[in-house]
Amino acid sequence: MVLARRIALIPRRRFGTGPGTFTNQGIKNYATLERQEGALNSFKEWTETFRALPRWLRRFNESWWKWVPACYVMFYWTEWSHKFNHHIKRKNPEEFANDE
C-alpha cells in the first residue's frame, strides 16, 4: 500500500516552471535575473529622465577627433584593397602574347 501511494505521488513532483510554480530551480543551465524592490534602476537616466544625454554629448565632443579620422582611413583602405584585388584578379594580356 505504501509503495502504491509513493508511485502515485511521483508525477506530482515537478522541477522547473510549471502550473503554479514560479521558480526555475530544477532546470539545468537556465537562470533568470530579477531585481529586488530596493535595487537601483541602472538605466533610469536613459529611459525616464534622459540625464545621460548631456554627458553623452560632452563625451562625443571630447573624442570625435580620435575616431572620425580612423573611420575615413578604414573606408579608403577598404576601397583601395577592393580595387587592388580586382586589379590582380584580371589577366595580363602580355602573358598570353605567344599563345596560339
> What pTM was estimated for this model as a whole?
0.40
pLDDT value, residue 45: 79
pLDDT value, residue 10: 47
User: Which sequence spans correspond to the domains of the chain?
Assistant: 46-90
Residue (of 1, 6, 26, 7) closest to 16 by Cα position: 26
Residue type (1 letter), 4: A
8 Å CB contact between 24 and 30: yes
Extract the C-alpha cell encoding 99.
599563345
**DSSP structural state of residue 28:** T
Has residue 9 got a pLDDT over 50? Answer: no
